[in-house]
Structure 1
Amino acid sequence: MGLLLLLIICQCTINSIKTHSVSKPNIILLMADDLGIGDLGCYGNRTLRTPNIDRLAEEGVTLTQHIAASPLCTPSRAAFLTGRYPIRSGMAAFSRVGVFLFSASSGGLPSEEITFSKLLKQKGYATALIGKWHLGMNCESSNDFCHHPLSHGFDYFYGLPVTNFRDCKSGQGSVFLKGVQKGLVLPIQITGITLVSLVVVHYIGLLKVPFQALGYFLLIITISLVVLIFFFYNFRQLNCFLMRDHRIIQQPLSYENLTQRLTKEAMQFIERNTGTPFLLVLSYLHVHTALYASENFKGKSKHGLYGDAVEEMDWSVGMLHMLLTAVEGILDDLCSCSPN
């Protein structure tokens, strides 16, 4: 779940900046999730093929030192959008998990926070977030969307409101079950000891415990367990879905050609706004677990599914670069960054 901000590749190709004729450059931010600094060719890797990211590095600036506000997704992304420490916006992680696990969670980035997307929108930019959000969705109802990307300065959203869970893809294990198992051990032990103790003291005459009360207690425990089991077996259906703006368009989420779909949405946004200054944040699901890759990349790298995912993400970067090169004049007014 960690978002390690270890790498930033920045490239600004504003050819006319010397004449100060460009006041509103187009901005593209490409964000990877859990990508290691040693997994790219521009940082010395010789076994993973990342020519498109390497080209950005060669033409731009690469950094090896960067301070992350948090090692976890939710708080670090809040800091990234606001430029403030997560604790200032109430997004610091105090629990063991430290991030949002459920789409129905009522928490999220407060709508009064000032994000760079809000500021750019105020300046006339078209703004879009494609991919992972993980900063909350609703406050008091299932459709108030107070924490949604569209409430934080983005005109368009296509992606996941939460994150890429292993639970969302069969055969990848479970984050939720592992946490529940650890969290239930102590309550179950306490419940069992309490029930046995009440029965013992009742039969030895120290305390008369109405069997009706024990029955109600057992009924409550049973119902709670049934609800928990139901939720676990329906986790993917309830929590893993794809949205376009405020609409759910795929539930449960399918990983088939998912990176291609995200890339297509990003390219279409650029094409729609060639005559307007724009901000595009393309927040990849790669290479956070659950690991996945399309058929065109599966089994092609030297490092299993993880390597396949890295190379597929590099392909996506190349597709964007190809489009930007094809659209006349757009590269002259472009500033791009790739934080990981």
Structure 2
Amino acid sequence: MKIRKILLVLILSNGWVKAQQNVDTKPNFIIILADDLGYGDLGFTGSTQIKTPHIDALANSGVIFTEAYVSAPVCAPSRAGLITGRNQVNFGYDNNLSVPLPQFNPQYSGLPVSEKTIADRLSELGYVNGIVGKWHLG
């Protein structure tokens, strides 16, 4: 009889511990940014010409963010806007010039280190962050 009570307590406490672990779990998420990718260029958005089975699988098992607009017509400033959550013109990153114009101010070359990125903000919340691919922000 004593062994049954001990087993019952162990089983019930194990379920409680598992329930507590699930409460504190942060969701994982991935942001995929592709230069010059149109909305209709992916299989899950209707493309029949371009095959994207792996991206389609991610989309089918996750959340799709469809109301996005770029904040600049070229890649680096647009990327700066995405990772900071701010309009990049506000911190001087409004072009993608490889050769600066004569009136170009060198202090605006790349993403200012004073700008907080989504990775900075997520780190404050206990997330581990990583980036793969093109940085191109100075």
TM-score bin, normalised by smaller chain: 0.5 to 0.7
TM-score with structure 2 setting the length: 0.67
Relative distance call for 1:63 and 1:24 in structure 2 (3 A) is closer
In structure 2, how many angstroms separate the alpha carbons of the residues matched to 1:51 and 1:20?
A: 31
Shift in Å, 1:125: 2.9
In structure 2, how many angstroms separate the alpha carbons of the residues matched to 1:132 and 1:43?
A: 24
Relative distance call for 1:62 and 1:124 in structure 2 (3 A) is closer
Structure 2 match to 1:87: 89
Percent of aligned pairs sharing the same letter? 42
Task: Please give the secondary structure, in 1, of the residue aligned with 2:58.
Answer: helix
1:38 to 37, 40, 44: 40
In structure 1, how many angstroms separate the alpha carbons of the residues matched to 2:114 and 2:67?
A: 31
Is the Cα contact below 8 Å between 1:100 and 1:135 reproduced in 2?
no
Structure 2 match to 1:134: 136
Shift in Å, 1:57: 2.3
Unpaired runs of 5+ residues, structure 1, are 1-15, 93-97, 137-340
Task: Please give the secondary structure, in 2, of the residue aligned with 1:129.
Answer: coil
What amino acid is aligned across from residue 99 of structure 1 in structure 2? Answer: N
State yes or no: 1:101 paired with 2:111. Answer: no
Is the Cα contact below 8 Å between 1:74 and 1:100 reproduced in 2?
no
CA deviation string 1:196-231 (max 9, x = no partner): xxxxxxxxxxxxxxxxxxxxxxxxxxxxxxxxxxxx
Shift in Å, 1:109: 0.9
Task: Please give the secondary structure, in 2, of the residue aligned with 1:26.
Answer: coil
Shift in Å, 1:59: 2.6
Shift in Å, 1:135: 0.9
Task: Please give the secondary structure, in 1, of the residue aligned with 2:30.
Answer: strand
Relative distance call for 1:52 and 1:129 in structure 2 (3 A) is same
Is the Cα contact below 8 Å between 1:100 and 1:134 reproduced in 2?
no
1:1-340 aligned within 5 A: 21-92=23-94, 98-101=95-98, 107-136=109-138
Is the Cα contact below 8 Å between 1:75 and 1:91 reproduced in 2?
yes
Instruction: Name the Cα RMSD after superposition.
Output: 2.6
Unpaired runs of 5+ residues, structure 2, are 1-17, 100-105
Shift in Å, 1:83: 0.6
Task: Please give the secondary structure, in 2, of the residue aligned with 1:30.
Answer: coil
Is the Cα contact below 8 Å between 1:40 and 1:48 reproduced in 2?
yes
Shift in Å, 1:51: 1.5
More strand by proportion, 1 or 2?
1
Relative distance call for 1:46 and 1:129 in structure 2 (3 A) is same
Q: Which has the higher contact order (CA 8 A, sep 6+)?
A: 1
In structure 2, how many angstroms separate the alpha carbons of the residues matched to 1:126 and 1:54?
A: 25
What amino acid is aligned across from residue 50 of structure 2 in structure 1? Answer: L
Shift in Å, 1:100: 4.3
In structure 1, how many angstroms separate the alpha carbons of the residues matched to 2:116 and 2:28?
A: 20
